[in-house]
Amino acid sequence: MSHSPLSALISVEQALERLLAEAQAAAIVENESVSLALADGRVLAQDVIAGLDLPPWPNSAMDGYALRLADWQGQPLPVSQRVVAGTAPEALQPGTCARIFTGAPVPEGADTVEMQENTTLTADGQVVFNEPMKAGQNIRPQGQETQLGDCVLAAGTRLGPVELGLAASLGLSQLNVRRRMRVAVLSTGDELVEPGQPLGLGQIYNSNRQVLISWLQRLSCEVVDGGILPDDLAQTRAALGALNQVDLILSTGGVSVGEADFLGIALREAGEISLWKLAIKPGKPLTFGQFRGVPVMGLPGNPASTLVTFGLLARPYILRRLGVQQVQPLGFSLPAGFTWTKPGKRREYLRAQVQEGRVVLYPNQSSGVLLSAAWADGFAEVLEHTTLSEGDCVRFIPLSELLI
Ligand code: AMP
Ligand code: MG
């Protein structure tokens, strides 16, 4: 193990900057075309350019009557046609109005729509307009939303319901997206047992594996489950040797300082690996390197540490490899509902809820307590070398920003 980097703590920003540069250098470049139904969560590989105007023609924003305002001097107008959504109207006959419904095309020659609530019908079916009108009112002009040739979604956009709806509104049934990333998940530790098995004295159930598998699936990754690696060099070597065709090896545990780090040893034999000491809590030790050319990230094993380091470092790294530019979570400044009297060397990500507009902490912030994150709505970020009084502003990062 190389101990030289241990002398200095790396800030969260420095670590992220290095990881994002590594991600950029190992960017996934292969693309595939997928139907909209299968594209949720994927990353757009190519700009989406509008192939038509939206709306494609002027349409009515109201149920009512379409007229040419210059034809109206206060007199009732006869109804010359009925235009419902989905039909193509004829040009408006001069001196008349058209019955029209929301979303229907405005007939050529009409420049105004009056909502039906502001009209009355005469006994012979003519329309009385009761209010003053303005030309153009209640008409959604052609191209109001977007116009032919506009870039509507940029390459690198992560697709969700809104983006997919937009693509559908432009008539696209397929999108060109980055291929999925294949990620191997390894859990290390002699103490680990998979759920469903009996638990012996000294053993604990493997929870990180499930956290990472679920989260990676949300990131549209293909997960290769590498199982549990015992704390044994030969078995670690063998397990690594069996991994092929992956884009990333993600492990948890075995990176604590002073521990026999078999994964690190095995990785170093066939690649390069360095141990970073991060100014982050929970977290701190993180390994990053390569094994036979495949990037490897080793996260700390304590469940809350795995959560924080995956969310703040591994997730942005993975998204950047897929070409996403905006990889940082949104955060909000909120008044602290707690005090922080002891300034720390490491930046704290405290599991917190927002209660009545204030950030309130889970009472047990131990890195071993995953329940803290189940209780929490997000992380309160307390910067290094900082104290806080109640009411001071603290950055709150919603978990919903990270768990997608
Ligand atoms: P390590 O980094 O291997 O020393 O692990 C730190 C702590 O996290 C120890 O208490 C481990 O038992 C625990 N731990 C490591 N891996 C896992 C895992 N996959 N699931 C649950 N706890 C873990
Ligand atoms: Mg361990």
Q: Amino acid identity, residue 137?
A: Q
pLDDT tops 80 at residue 48: yes
Q: How far is the CA of 182 from the centre of ligand 1 (A)?
A: 24
Pocket test for ligand 1, best of 193, 208, 277 (most atoms within 8 A of CB): 208
| pLDDT at residue number 116 | 98
pLDDT, tens digit, 9 for 90 and up, residues 176-214: 999 999 999 999 999 999 999 999 999 999 999 999 999
Question: Taking the alpha carbons of 332, 336, 337, 343 in that order, is the dihedral positive or negative?
Answer: positive
CB 48 within 8 A of CB 153: yes
Note whether 286 and 313 are within 8 A (CB): yes
Say if residue 225's pLDDT is above 90.
yes
| Interatomic CA distance for residues 291 and 247, integer angstroms | 11
Residue 306 Cβ contacting ligand 1 at under 6 Å:
no
> What's the mean pLDDT when you consider all of the chain?
94
| DSSP codes joined into one string, 93-141 | PTT-EEEE-TTPBPPTT--EEEEGGGEEE-TTS-EEE-S---TTTTEE-
- Helices 233-241 and 262-270: angle between axes, nearest 10 degrees: 50
| Cβ(367) – ligand 1 distance below 6 Å | no
Q: Is the pLDDT of residue 173 over 60?
A: yes
Q: Give the Cα separation of 154 and 142 in Å (integer).
A: 23
State the average pLDDT over residues 50-56: 98
Q: Is the CB of 303 under 6 A from ligand 1?
A: yes
Q: For the ranges 16-20, 32-36, 115-119, 275-279, which has the lowest average pLDDT?
A: 275-279
Distance between CA atoms of residues 40 and 57, nearest Å: 29
How does residue 273 score in pLDDT terms, banded at 50, 70 and 90? Answer: confident
C-alpha separations of 391 from 16, 332, 351, 359 in Å: 30, 14, 18, 9
pLDDT over 90 (residue 334): yes
Kindly state the DSSP code that residue 313 receives in the 8-state scheme.
I
Least confident of 228-237, 266-275, 302-311: 266-275
Q: Which atom of ligand 1 is nearest to the CA of 255?
A: 2
Q: Is 287 in the pocket of ligand 1 (CB under 6 A)?
A: no
pLDDT given for residue 7 in this prediction: 60
Whether pLDDT at 3 is above 60: no
What share of the chain in percent tops pLDDT 90?
88
Looking at residue 258, its pLDDT comes to 57
Answer whether 250's CB lies under 8 Å from 211's CB.
no
Q: Whose CA is nearest to atom 7 of ligand 1?
A: 302
* DSSP letter string, 66-99: EE-GGG-SSS-B-EEEEE-TT--PPPPPTT-EEE
Whole-angstrom distance, CA of residue 271 vs CA of residue 80? 80
Assess whether the C-beta atom of 337 lies below 6 angstroms from ligand 1. no
For the cut 90, the answer to whether the pLDDT of residue 268 exceeds it is: no
Predicted local confidence at residue 257, as pLDDT: 59
CA 167, CA 54: separation in Å to the nearest integer?
Answer: 11
pLDDT grade for 5, boundaries at 50, 70 and 90:
very low
What mean pLDDT is predicted for residues 374-401? 98
Mean pLDDT of 109-126: 98
67-96 mean pLDDT: 97
Q: Tell the burial category of 125 from Cβ atoms under 10 Å away from its Cβ (0-12, 13-18, 19+).
A: exposed
Give the single-character DSSP code of 245.
S
Q: 206 CB less than 6 Å from ligand 1?
A: yes
Could you tell me the pLDDT band of residue 2, with boundaries at 50, 70 and 90? very low
Residue 95: per-residue pLDDT: 97
pLDDT tops 90 at residue 259? no
CA distance 329 to 347: 16
